[in-house]
Structure formats: structure tokens, C-alpha cells
Amino acid sequence: MAEKVYQVEVEAEPQYIAEQSNMANDIYVFGYRVRIVNTGSEPAQLVSRHWIITDANQQVQEVRGMGVVGEQPHLEPGQAFEYTSATHLKTPYGSMKGSYQMVADDGQRFEADIPEMTLVAPRVLH
């Protein structure tokens, strides 16, 4: 019998949203697209998320919650789920990273790391 593999890969791509940002009031909005792929051998459900968002002043905001964009996607092996969301900073650059908490159909819990994204408003870094 083959060994069970619990693995989910995450790709994340940020984008600055100028029309929602307001530099005069120190509001910098960043959208991001996330693609989650079950690269393991077992079906699993994304049950919660944990983001760590850091601005240029090293102010850290931690965000925890159930699911993503109101969903708790169930992924069969090889299946992918994509969504877009956004966050805002009080500085023109920062970063965000985190993890998704997964539960396989057999009850095994595991985490999927979200790679760190650099958030940069255009014309800020030279």
C-alpha cells in the first residue's frame, strides 16, 4: 500500500491597487491572487487561514479566520482552487506570508505554507 502524502502547494501573487489607495491618508491597498493545489495523495479541506502582514514600520498584523473568501474548499489530489482578496497597509511597502490549516478526509491535520509576498506601491523604491 502506498504511503499517504499530505501536501498542498500555494502560489501567491500581489498587485498594488492604486484606485483604492490614498497616499495622502497613508492607505495603500494591495490585492493578491492565490492558487492552492493539492499535490498530495489524499483529499483535503482548507479549514482556516493565518496571515502575518508586516508594514515598513515593522508593525505586524496577524489575521486568522475560517476558510478563504467565505469558502472552505475541498480539494481532491491534483485539484486547484483560486481566489483573489486584498489587504491594506499604512506604509507604501511591506510583506505578507502565512499558512492554511488543512484537514484530510481521514482526519489528519496539516499546514500549507503561504510563501512571503513583497507588497510595494509603484514609484516608492528606486
The structure's pTM equals 0.92
Strand-by-strand arrangement of the 8-16 sheet: 8-16, 28-38, 80-89
Number of structural domains in the chain: 1
28-38 and 8-16 strand pairing: antiparallel
123 pLDDT exceeds 90?
Answer: no
Tens-digit pLDDT profile for residues 51-106: 999 999 999 999 999 999 999 999 999 999 999 999 999 999 999 999 999 999 99
45 pLDDT exceeds 60?
Answer: yes
Range of the domain at 73: 8-116
Q: Indicate whether 121 belongs to any domain.
A: no
1 pLDDT exceeds 90?
Answer: no
**For the chain, the helix, strand and coil percentages under 3-state DSSP, each to the nearest 5:** 5, 65, 35
Nearest to 74 by CA among 100, 38, 110, 41: 38
Q: Indicate whether 109 belongs to any domain.
A: yes
Residues 6+ apart with CB under 8 A from 28: 16, 21, 88, 89, 90, 91, 92, 93, 119, 121
Q: Indicate whether 126 belongs to any domain.
A: no
Q: Indicate whether 84 belongs to any domain.
A: yes
Which CATH number is 90's domain given? 2.60.40.1470
Which residue in the block uniquely carries the three cell numbers 507604501? 92
